[in-house]
Amino acid sequence: MEKIIEENKQGESLVLEHKTGNTKKLFIESYGCAMNFSDSEVVASILSENGFNTTQILEEADLVLVNTCSIRDKAEQTVRKRLEKYNAVKRSVNPKMKVGVLGCMAERLKSQFLEEEKIVDLVVGPDAYKDLPNLLQEVEAGNDAINVILSKDETYGDISPVRLHSNGVTAFVSITRGCDNMCTFCVVPFTRGRERSREPQSIMEEIADLSNRGFKEITLLGQNVDSYLWYGGGLKKDFVKATEFQKATAVDFAQLLEMVATGFPKMRIRFSTSNPQDMHESVLHVIAKYPNVCKHIHLPVQSGSDRILAAMNRLHTREEYIQLIDKINRIIPGCGITQDMISGFPTETEEDHQDTLSLMEHVKYGFGYMYAYSERPGTLAGRKMEDDVPEETKLRRLQEIVDLQRKHSAFRTQEFLGQTVEVLIEKTSKKSEEQFSGRNSQSITVVFPRENYKIGDFVNVKINSCTSGTLIGEAVGYSDMN
């Protein structure tokens, strides 16, 4: 659940520039978090080198891939429905079509998809995308193909991702894979493996390429970016076995963030997702020091109750989390802080729920991703804990969390009234062709009249009004970032 699920992006079919000479057609859809959408770009890049151009017409595809998520039951049900649709097209329209599942569901449901239900031709886990050309040869030969082996060192650092469906302004740059935090509700360590970090130079080269192509903002991406640690390769847990030289020359997240900030002073830098127990003060000082590092931290807490935090195996207490929040506010005044929250975790009482609400009152988050607990097979909670909070209680508590978050979001947007904020123009506003939309440093959406500006410009916008989620204003000139 350390993963941001953007509902408006779920199920996007992705498209990229066609490569001359490629004759096969790939249809690829993504579900889940930003990591999955980033991985789809890696997959498209690999397949582009192996004869595939993308299509958005399902019926004409030679290969259909769905990049999947196991974080919530809803995502799995949606993917199953899509697989039924693919197979209906395969039966009635395009019998030569091959269907494959990528990502987290692939690892967890491999035998079910291939052998029991026979709804896919190939299953590829998150660490095996480079094996896709070989697996496709197996499929062409009439065999089922599967590779869900989790790697100790694969980071795809040598693959330059194709930017699918990109606005040409913002891009994700993956810096870690896997996760070592065994939260009892989360399936990620079992589907994406143990944590390993990507070589800093390959990260800098990817960002340099993006900068040369006109991108203005990057998000450093990982299941847990704060525990980034490069010491020459290998799993983070094996750092204790590193040589003295490796330890002395290791690069942690604060150092990487500073390298990127100083190396690309005209690019905006964001990062996601943070884990409270791994966020060190050194990172906060880097954020405060460099104007191109956005003043926004997504800091999932999941619950405000110490008892529930312990049951979730969150390695922080309520008090430690509050101390971290207070430290952020002291070192980075005006920093935007956003949350993930789960209602109705096993054994949660009304008192535990009230602890969550009181924590929210203390922090007053700008935004949140809030869910009712959904038991995930394969997790410790799924194996060892009874899902004993009634569904109606979960949903009532969730609604109370959502209502309080809406109130706090409105409080946070109102703080900007009368201020002038820097905005990177990302797109035309959904509601009006006459307005542009972008985000301020705190990741709040800002809309304003287009005038003579263009997408990709950094502009200063004076805020005149707001809703609970959007700032509304007028541009008063270019910012120093241009």
- CA distances (Å), origin 217, targets 159, 222, 439: 20, 16, 11
71 with 206, same domain?
A: no
> Is 427 inside a domain boundary?
yes
**Domain end position, chosen among 358, 387, 413:** 413
The count of domains in the chain is: 3
Pairing mode, strands 170-174 and 98-103: unpaired
> Is 15 inside a domain boundary?
no
Question: N- to C-terminal Cα distance for the chain?
Answer: 36
Question: What gap in Å lies between CA 380 and CA 185, rounded to an integer?
Answer: 7
Question: What gap in Å lies between CA 129 and CA 177, rounded to an integer?
Answer: 13
What residues form the annotated binding site? 33, 69, 104, 179, 183, 186
257 with 375, same domain?
A: yes
What residues form the annotated binding site for [4Fe-4S] cluster? 33, 69, 104, 179, 183, 186
In the three-class reduction of DSSP (H, G, I as helix; E, B as strand; rest coil), residue 103 is classed as strand
135 with 44, same domain?
A: yes
- Using the Cα atoms of residue 280, residue 259, residue 4 and residue 358 in order, give the sign of their dihedral: positive
Residue 257: alpha-carbon gap to chain centroid: 18
Sequence-ordered strand ranges (E) for 300-411: 336-343, 367-372
**Structure tokens, 322:** 């509050």
**Structure tokens, 449:** 């009249």
The Cβ of residue 445 has, within 10 Å, a number of other Cβ atoms equal to 19
**Helix locations, 214-298, DSSP H:** 244-248, 253-263, 281-289
Q: Domain range for residue 429?
A: 417-476
Cβ pair 401, 370 in contact under 8 A: yes
> Is 382 inside a domain boundary?
yes
Residue 314, C-beta contacts closer than 8 angstroms, at least 6 positions apart: 183, 276, 277, 301, 302, 303
Which CATH number does the domain housing residue 463 bear? 2.40.50.140
- CA distances (Å), origin 11, targets 14, 56, 421: 9, 12, 33
Cβ pair 206, 173 in contact under 8 A: yes
**Domain end position, chosen among 413, 440, 457:** 413
29 with 111, same domain?
A: yes
Which CATH number does the domain housing residue 215 bear? 3.80.30.20
In the three-class reduction of DSSP (H, G, I as helix; E, B as strand; rest coil), residue 364 is classed as coil
All residue ranges of the chain with pLDDT < 70 are 1-17, 70-73, 107, 115-116, 148-166
Degrees, nearest 5: CA angle 179-40-172:
65
Which CATH number does the domain housing residue 74 bear? 3.40.50.12160
> Is 249 inside a domain boundary?
yes
Question: What gap in Å lies between CA 473 and CA 6, rounded to an integer?
Answer: 25
81 with 201, same domain?
A: no
pLDDT score for 117: 72
The Cβ of residue 480 has, within 10 Å, a number of other Cβ atoms equal to 10
At position 125, the amino acid (one-letter code) is G
**Structure tokens, 213:** 């192509």
> Is 467 inside a domain boundary?
yes
385 with 294, same domain?
A: yes
Question: What gap in Å lies between CA 128 and CA 151, rounded to an integer?
Answer: 8
Residue 325, C-beta contacts closer than 8 angstroms, at least 6 positions apart: 299, 337, 362, 363
403 with 424, same domain?
A: no
Question: What gap in Å lies between CA 190 and CA 416, rounded to an integer?
Answer: 42
244 with 140, same domain?
A: no
448 with 364, same domain?
A: no
Cβ pair 432, 376 in contact under 8 A: no
Question: What gap in Å lies between CA 271 and CA 236, rounded to an integer?
Answer: 19
Burial zone of 168 (CB within 10 Å; 0-12 exposed, 13-18 middle, 19+ buried): middle
Axis crossing angle, helix 200-212 with helix 253-263, rounded to the nearest 10: 30
pLDDT score for 81: 87
> pLDDT digits over 265-282, tens only?
999 999 988 999 999 999
**Domain end position, chosen among 394, 413, 432:** 413
98 bridge partner residues:
63
E strand or H helix at 271, and its extent?
Answer: strand 268-272
> Is 340 inside a domain boundary?
yes
265 with 119, same domain?
A: no
> Is 446 inside a domain boundary?
yes
- CA distances (Å), origin 54, targets 33, 42, 106, 107, 315: 21, 13, 21, 24, 43
339 with 424, same domain?
A: no
39 with 90, same domain?
A: yes
> Is 163 inside a domain boundary?
no
pLDDT score for 204: 96
Question: What gap in Å lies between CA 215 and CA 403, rounded to an integer?
Answer: 36
